[in-house]
């Protein structure tokens, strides 16, 4: 017999994850919750700051290698281009323009957790690149990938830009890649961006900007708990702190309590105590090299078949296929 609980303690995954993370030692919050409407806007601003080199590096790669990337995507019967985490499409538009100009037969299927982001993207494409056949999909990566396995009438190209995989610890990244691999058939491809190891200072500067935008982005977790969970965090009582470990390639973001304090999260009935200088870990942004990428691919059942980079190897976009074919 199946046991079905009559009461659940939490109404949403956000509530459950906050309760778990802030009663843990050391405290943590999950970075995916930064992205509500305010968080999306702050991330757009991050992508426009000169310190956040990732966006321009990847844009440069896509511009420099447009023709060969598009060539790799194409197949006799055309293809379906599925983008996970579509965002504002600034970088994707470079590829889409070329694909339309070359008259390639393809559908563009952007997937994003935010319907708002998808609506704006669809609207923008209608006027900017009217030739694109677009079909938006709202949902989480994992749920959508299950559905996508049925997309089997012709070649699938799955695209993940922005080094979004960097928010996952290696173990989780492998799970994510395995999931994608399972949705792929023989001729399908994965096209993915990975930020590369580089000068530690350049990485720190990207996540510790003097404009305070990254700080506001990180603190949006506190703001969101205040508004959605009736909490009373004072954002000024926490300091945004970034570290980068050049050995592991992991950049980590923290919010550090500047003083001993108690914070109420009324909706969860929690009273959270912070010692002075106690931390909340909020995000990792993993940096890679070819060895790590090849190892992740192998563990997930994939192999690297092509790669594109800028002249300084600041950032790389790799093409993967299933290794069992
Ligand atoms: C969207 C996950 C790629 O980790 O570089 C930017 C998010 N965090 N500045 C990253 C982020 C702080 C970003 N990703």
Tens-digit pLDDT profile for residues 184-227? 999 999 999 999 999 999 999 999 999 999 999 999 999 999 99
For ligand 1, atom 1: residue with the closest CA: 164
Enumerate long-range contacts of 125-134, CB under 8 Å, 24 or more apart: 125/89, 125/93, 125/96, 128/93, 129/93, 129/96, 129/97, 129/100, 131/100, 132/96, 132/100, 132/108, 133/106, 133/107, 133/108, 134/107, 134/108, 134/109, 134/110
- Which one, of 318, 311, 320, lies nearest residue 57 by Cα? 311
- Which one, of 191, 82, 86, 74, lies nearest residue 133 by Cα? 82
pLDDT at 2 over 60: no
Q: Residue 4: its pLDDT value, please? A: 57
Judge whether 317 and 301 are in contact, CB under 8 Å.
Answer: no
pLDDT at 60 over 70: yes
Query: What is the Å distance from ligand 1's center to 316 Cα?
Result: 16
Query: What is the Å distance from ligand 1's center to 41 Cα?
Result: 13
Q: Percentage of residues in the chain with pLDDT exceeding 70?
A: 98
DSSP labels, 18-36? HHHHHSSSSEE--GGGG-S
For ligand 1, atom 5: residue with the closest CA: 285
Ligand 1 atom nearest to CA at 251: 4
- Which one, of 161, 167, 284, 215, lies nearest residue 42 by Cα? 215
For ligand 1, atom 9: residue with the closest CA: 207
- Which one, of 109, 108, 114, 107, lies nearest residue 138 by Cα? 114
Ligand 1 atom nearest to CA at 163: 3
Query: What is the Å distance from ligand 1's center to 136 Cα?
Result: 23
Query: What is the Å distance from ligand 1's center to 165 Cα?
Result: 10
Query: What is the Å distance from ligand 1's center to 164 Cα?
Result: 7
> Average of pLDDT values for 176-188?
94
**Residues having CB within 6 Å of any atom of ligand 1:** 46, 54, 162-164, 166-167, 207, 214, 217, 283, 285
Task: Give me the torsion for CA of 22, 28, 32, 36, rounded to 10°.
Answer: 50
Q: How many helices (H) and strands (E) does the chain have?
A: 11, 14
Give 106-148 pLDDT, tens digit per residue: 999 999 988 888 999 999 999 999 999 999 999 888 788 888 7
Pocket test for ligand 1, best of 285, 287, 288, 314 (most atoms within 8 A of CB): 285
For ligand 1, atom 3: residue with the closest CA: 164
- Which one, of 233, 230, 167, 281, lies nearest residue 15 by Cα? 230
Q: Residue 8: its pLDDT value, please? A: 66
Q: At 242, is the pLDDT very low, low, confident or very high (cuts 50, 70, 90)?
A: very high
Pocket test for ligand 1, best of 141, 167, 209 (most atoms within 8 A of CB): 167
Locate 207 and state its tokens: 């996540």
CA distances from 221 to 48, 152, 216, 253, 303 (A): 21, 39, 9, 12, 36
What's phi and psi for 58, nearest 5 deg? -70, -40
What's phi and psi for 51, nearest 5 deg? -65, -30
Q: Which residues contact 14 (CB under 8 A, 6 or more apart)?
A: 33, 228, 229
Q: Residue 148: its pLDDT value, please? A: 77
Query: What is the Å distance from ligand 1's center to 170 Cα?
Result: 16
Q: Residue 77: its pLDDT value, please? A: 95
For ligand 1, atom 10: residue with the closest CA: 285
pLDDT at 1 over 70: no
Q: Residue 182: its pLDDT value, please? A: 93
* CA distance linking residue 33 with residue 14, whole number of Å: 7
Query: What is the Å distance from ligand 1's center to 314 Cα?
Result: 16
Judge whether 55 and 161 are in contact, CB under 8 Å.
Answer: no
| Strand pairing report for 137-138 and 315-322 | unpaired
Conformation bin of residue 313: beta by default, left when phi > 0, alpha when psi is -120 to 50: left
The mean pLDDT value of the chain amounts to 94
| Strand pairing report for 302-309 and 133-134 | unpaired
Give 69-93 pLDDT, tens digit per residue: 999 999 999 999 999 998 778 899 9
Query: What is the Å distance from ligand 1's center to 152 Cα?
Result: 32
Query: What is the Å distance from ligand 1's center to 113 Cα?
Result: 16
Note the Cα 166 to chain centre separation in Å. 7
How far the first Cα of the chain sits from its last, in Å, is 43
Ligand 1 atom nearest to CA at 284: 4
Locate 114 and state its tokens: 């935010």
Pocket test for ligand 1, best of 43, 50, 314 (most atoms within 8 A of CB): 43
Which secondary structure element, helix H or strand E, spans residue 110, and what is its range?
Answer: strand 106-112
pLDDT at 178 over 80: yes
């Amino acid at each position: 017999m199946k046991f079905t609980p009559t009461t659940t303690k939490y109404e949403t995954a956000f509530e459950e994850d906050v309760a778990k993370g802030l009663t843990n030692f050391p405290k943590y919050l999950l970075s995916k919750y930064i992205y509500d409407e305010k968080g999306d806007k702050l991330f757009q601003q991050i992508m426009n700051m000169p310190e956040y080199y990732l966006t321009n590096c990847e844009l440069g790669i896509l511009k420099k290698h447009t023709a060969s990337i598009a060539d790799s995507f194409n197949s006799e019967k055309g293809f379906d281009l599925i983008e996970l985490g579509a965002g504002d499409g600034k970088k994707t538009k470079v590829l889409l323009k070329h694909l339309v100009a070359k008259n390639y037969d393809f559908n563009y299927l952007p997937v994003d957790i935010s319907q708002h982001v998808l609506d704006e993207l669809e609207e923008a494409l209608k006027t900017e690149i009217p030739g694109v056949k677009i079909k938006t999909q709202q949902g989480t990566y994992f749920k959508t990938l299950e559905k996508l396995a049925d997309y089997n009438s012709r070649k699938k190209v799955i695209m993940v830009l922005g080094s979004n995989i960097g928010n996952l610890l290696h173990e989780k990244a492998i799970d994510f890649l395995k999931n994608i691999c399972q949705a792929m058939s023989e001729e399908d491809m994965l096209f993915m961006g990975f930020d590369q190891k580089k000068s530690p200072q350049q990485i720190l500067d990207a996540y510790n900007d003097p404009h305070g935008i990254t700080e506001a982005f990180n603190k949006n977790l506190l703001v969101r708990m205040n508004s959605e969970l009736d909490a009373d965090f004072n954002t000024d009582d926490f300091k945004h702190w970034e570290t980068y470990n050049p050995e592991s390639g992991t950049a980590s973001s923290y919010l550090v309590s500047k003083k001993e304090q108690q914070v109420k999260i009324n909706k969860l009935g929690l009273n959270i105590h912070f010692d002075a200088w106690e931390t909340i870990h909020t995000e990792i942004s993993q940096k890679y090299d070819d060895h790590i990428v090849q190892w992740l691919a192998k563990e997930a059942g994939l192999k690297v078949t092509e790669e594109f980079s800028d002249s300084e190897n600041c950032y790389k976009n790799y093409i993967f296929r299933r290794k069992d074919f």
